Chain A
Amino acid sequence: MSIEIRNLIHTYMAGGPFERTAIEDVSLTIEDGEFVGLIGHTGSGKSTLIMHLNGLIKPTSGSILVDGLDLMDKKTSLKDVRKKVGLVFQYPEYQLFEETILKDVMFGPKNLGLSDQEAEERARHALRQVGLADESMYEKSPFELSGGQKRRVAIAGVLAMKPTTLILDEPTAGLDPRGREEILSLIKRYHEEEKVTLIMVSHSMTDVSRLCSRILVMDHSRLVMNGTPDEVFMNGDRLMQAGLALPPCAELAERLRGAGFDIPADAYRPGELKQAILRSLGRGKSHA
Chain B
Amino acid sequence: MLDNITLGQYLPGNSFLHRMDPRAKILLTVVMIVAVFTANTWIGYAGLFLFIGGTALLSRINLKFIIKGVKPIFYIILLTFFINLFFNSGETVLVEWGVVRITKEGLVNATFMALRLLLLVFCTQLLTLTTSPIALTDGLERLLKPLSKIGFPSHELAMMMSIALRFIPTLMEETDKIMKAQMARGADFESGNLINRAKAMLPLLVPLFVSAFRRADELAMAMEARCYRGGDNRTRMKVLKFTKVDAIAAAAVLAMTAFAIIF
| Contact surface of A with B, Cβ cutoff 8 Å | 13, 16-17, 51, 54, 56-57, 79, 82-83, 86-87, 89, 92, 94-97, 107-108, 111-112, 143, 157-158, 161
Q: B217 at interface (Cβ–Cβ under 8 A)?
A: no
Interface residues of B in 186-219 (CB under 8 A from A): 186-188, 202-203, 206-207, 210-211
**Contact size class for B?**
20 to 34
The residues of B that contact A108 with a CB separation of less than 8 Å are 185-186
Which of B20-28, B50-58, B147-155, B173-181 is near enough to bind chain A? Answer: B173-181
Shortest Cβ distance from residue B48 to the other chain A in the assembled complex, whole angstroms:
27
Q: B182 at interface (Cβ–Cβ under 8 A)?
A: yes
B12's closest neighbor in chain A, by CB? A17
Q: B96 at interface (Cβ–Cβ under 8 A)?
A: no
Known contacts: A56-B180, A89-B180, A92-B181. The answer to whether A97 contacts B187 by CB under 8 A is no
Q: When the two chains form the complex, which single residue of A96, A112, A158 contacts B184, counting CB atoms closer than 8 Å?
A: A158
**Pair B210/A89 contact, Cβ less than 8 Å:** no
Q: B11 at interface (Cβ–Cβ under 8 A)?
A: yes
Shortest Cβ distance from residue A90 to the other chain B in the assembled complex, whole angstroms:
9
Known contacts: A13-B3, A51-B180, A56-B180. The answer to whether A97 contacts B185 by CB under 8 A is no
Cβ contacts A to B, 29 pairs, < 8 Å: A17-B62, A56-B184, A57-B180, A82-B183, A82-B184, A86-B184, A87-B181, A89-B177, A89-B181, A94-B177, A94-B211, A95-B178, A95-B181, A95-B185, A95-B203, A97-B202, A97-B203, A97-B206, A107-B185, A107-B186, A107-B187, A107-B203, A108-B186, A111-B185, A111-B188, A112-B186, A143-B210, A158-B185, A161-B185
Known contacts: A17-B62, A107-B203, A143-B210. The answer to whether A87 contacts B186 by CB under 8 A is no
Known contacts: A56-B180, A89-B180, A94-B178. The answer to whether A157 contacts B185 by CB under 8 A is yes
How many contacts between A and B, using CB within 8 angstroms?
Answer: 57
Shortest Cβ distance from residue A155 to the other chain B in the assembled complex, whole angstroms:
12
The residues of A that contact B178 with a CB separation of less than 8 Å are 94-95
The residues of A that contact B187 with a CB separation of less than 8 Å are 107, 111
Contact with A along B1-38 (1 / 0, CB 8 A): 00100000001000000000000000000000000000
Known contacts: A108-B186, A111-B186. The answer to whether A96 contacts B181 by CB under 8 A is no
Q: When the two chains form the complex, which single residue of B11, B62, B183, B188 contacts A56, counting CB atoms closer than 8 Å?
A: B183
The residues of A that contact B180 with a CB separation of less than 8 Å are 51, 56-57, 89
The residues of B that contact A54 with a CB separation of less than 8 Å are 184
A107's closest neighbor in chain B, by CB? B185
**Pair B207/A17 contact, Cβ less than 8 Å:** no
The 4 closest A-B pairs by CB, nearest first: A111-B186, A97-B206, A108-B185, A87-B184
Report Cα–Cα, A115/B21, bound state, in Å. 63
The residues of A that contact B202 with a CB separation of less than 8 Å are 97
> Max chain B CB contacts within 10 Å: which of A17, A56, A86, A97?
A97
A56's closest neighbor in chain B, by CB? B180
**Pair B184/A17 contact, Cβ less than 8 Å:** no
Report Cα–Cα, A56/B207, bound state, in Å. 19
Known contacts: A13-B3, A17-B11. The answer to whether A94 contacts B207 by CB under 8 A is yes
> Max chain A CB contacts within 10 Å: which of B3, B180, B188?
B180
The residues of A that contact B210 with a CB separation of less than 8 Å are 94, 143
The residues of A that contact B177 with a CB separation of less than 8 Å are 89, 94
Shortest Cβ distance from residue A7 to the other chain B in the assembled complex, whole angstroms:
24
Report Cα–Cα, A167/B62, bound state, in Å. 40
The residues of A that contact B182 with a CB separation of less than 8 Å are 95
The residues of B that contact A107 with a CB separation of less than 8 Å are 185-187, 203
The residues of B that contact A13 with a CB separation of less than 8 Å are 3
Report Cα–Cα, A26/B146, bound state, in Å. 59
Report Cα–Cα, A56/B202, bound state, in Å. 19
The residues of A that contact B186 with a CB separation of less than 8 Å are 79, 82-83, 107-108, 111-112, 161
Report Cα–Cα, A95/B184, bound state, in Å. 11
Shortest Cβ distance from residue A129 to the other chain B in the assembled complex, whole angstroms:
16
Please give 15 more A-B residue pairs, beta carbons under 8 A apart, in addition to A95-B178, A95-B207, A111-B185.
Answer: A54-B184, A83-B186, A86-B184, A87-B181, A87-B184, A89-B184, A94-B177, A94-B181, A94-B207, A107-B185, A108-B185, A112-B186, A143-B210, A157-B185, A158-B185
